[in-house]
Amino acid sequence: MSEKRNSFSSSLGFVLAAAGSAVGLGNIWRFPYLAAKDGGGLFLAVYIVLALTFGYTLLVSEVSIGRKTRQSARTAYGMLKKEWGFLGVIANAVPFLILPYYCIIGGWVMKYCVAFVTGQGLAAAEDSFFTDFITGQYEPIIYDVIFLLLTGFVVFRGVNKGIEAMSKILMPVLLILVVGIAVFALTIRGGEAQGDRSGIQGFLFYVVPSVSGMQVRDFFVVVMDAMGQLFYSISVAMGIMVTYGSYYKDEDNLVKSVNQIEFFDTMVAFLAGVMIIPAVFVYMGKEGMTAGPGLMFVVIPKVFAQMGAFGRVIGSVFFLMVLFAALTSSVSVLEAVVSGLIDRFKVERKQATVAETVIALVLGVIICLGYNIFYFEVPLPNGTKAQILDIVDYISNNIFMPVVAIGTCILIGWVLKPETVVDEATKNGERFGRRRLYIVMLKFVTPVLLTVLLLGSLGIL
């Protein structure tokens, strides 16, 4: 017997939960190193333009689909158009694949948080610390299990007592920590060994566009990086916003809430760069910016270690903040899968949560062992070498997510027509300020950009 569908108690609850999903490791881990790699202010400018156009188009579409159908992504697309039910299956497969490895990375964050809180910050700054940890056979699994159980507990409690209650506590705390660390980063100043570099200089490195020697192909890479980052940042094309939209009340202002999510996500992404890039610049110089994905787990601990005793405090607060961000996002990922099971198979929430948690645990153990017992490397079409975690990430993020987003644009833009979303978003007489832009982006620009992104991921471009 299916349970009665819950709703967020208020638009604030929805915004905080949706923003919690959006503000995750994608913002705090991935955004700063992409900004550092892609010309600082140039990447920021491109990202903001895409967030206001490309990202907004997908976000308002998915939330509207969810509220209109009162279904998760697994069944919502088929309800809109029976022949398009396959899109819901792919959309639901994305969080199913993401959850196991996202909880593993959440476990990594928890490990570093514990290390700094217990006074092991200097050890965490050693070159071998990260590699020794993830290649261990037992410890990564233990942290994965703890993080996954925390995620499962919140979803087990439901929309109001679990997701909304957690978001109302963690999101304000998260925002305070982000702003506090960002302000601190601007006040840092290195000594003679660091060339007397300052946090303000690092901030300028972050926000001032660097286009020296940049060619058309390089700018194209920046655009593709920024667009790919938006998938991570605003949680679209993975069933989450459709699911959260299905819990959004009819009488609340959907357009206003989407605008708030958009603003909150972009602000935190920007502040993540302010937290990280000035500090890395002061203690590691421009060379520290080339660490790529290793920025958080390899370079940042070294920065805290160089701050002396105060670095332990800042490091503890920083990784606690990242842990909160990871948890709010992992909860949304699990909720997307659980809601799909409830809608498709008419099971109770408790059964669906336990079943998916067990599955994610088994898959998580296999992925953890991919760094030791099951270790191997294979080349991917996008030119990178991958282990098990990278392969799962590639399938979900580089193939399935663009396919879902392209399908959504075609379904709403051409098969059902944009009025399907516009009418839903303005059902209470609300003003749809970007209506014309939305229609043009939905029908023409967004699917073209997404197709280019997909072809690039497949190694065709």
- CA–CA separation, 283 and 303 (whole Å): 6
Burial status of residue 172 (CB atoms within 10 A of its CB: 0-12, 13-18, 19 or more): exposed
Say how many C-beta atoms besides its own lie within 10 A of residue 62's C-beta: 31
CA separation for the pair 311, 184 (Å, rounded)? 12
Pair 316, 11: CB distance under 8 Å: no
pLDDT tens for the chain, 461 residues: list them.
445 688 999 999 999 999 999 888 888 888 998 998 898 899 999 999 999 999 999 999 999 999 999 999 999 999 999 999 999 999 999 999 999 999 999 999 999 999 999 999 999 999 899 999 999 999 999 999 999 999 999 999 999 999 999 999 999 999 999 999 999 999 999 888 788 899 999 999 999 988 878 899 999 999 999 999 998 788 999 999 999 999 999 999 999 999 999 999 999 999 999 999 999 999 988 877 776 667 889 889 999 998 888 899 999 999 999 999 999 999 999 999 999 999 999 999 999 999 999 999 999 999 999 999 999 999 999 888 999 999 999 999 999 999 999 999 999 999 999 999 999 999 999 999 999 999 999 999 999 999 999 999 999 98
- Taking CA atoms, 140 is separated from 82, 117, 129, 132, 247, in Å, by 43, 18, 13, 10, 34
Q: Which helix (H) or strand (E) holds 325?
A: helix 309-345
Q: pTM of the prediction?
A: 0.96
Tokens of 397: 């993020």
Provide the greatest CA pair distance for the chain. Answer: 69
Q: Please tell me the distance from the alpha carbon of residue 36 to that of residue 286, in angstroms, as a whole number.
A: 9
Which strand (E) or helix (H) includes residue 455?
helix 446-457
What's the CA gap between 39 and 245, in Å, rounded? 35
**Would you say how long the chain is, in residues?**
461
Q: Are the CB atoms for 91 and 74 separated by under 8 Å? A: yes
The rounded distance, in Å, linking the Cα atoms of 24 and 328 is 7
Q: Where exactly are the structural domains of the chain?
A: 11-379
Q: At what angle do helices 309-345 and 73-80 cross, to 10 degrees?
A: 50
Question: Of 110, 118, 187, whose CA–CA distance to 150 is shortest?
Answer: 110
In the chain, % helix, strand, coil (3-state, to 5) comes to 80, 0, 20
What topology is assigned to 11-379 in CATH?
Hydantoin permease (1.10.4160)
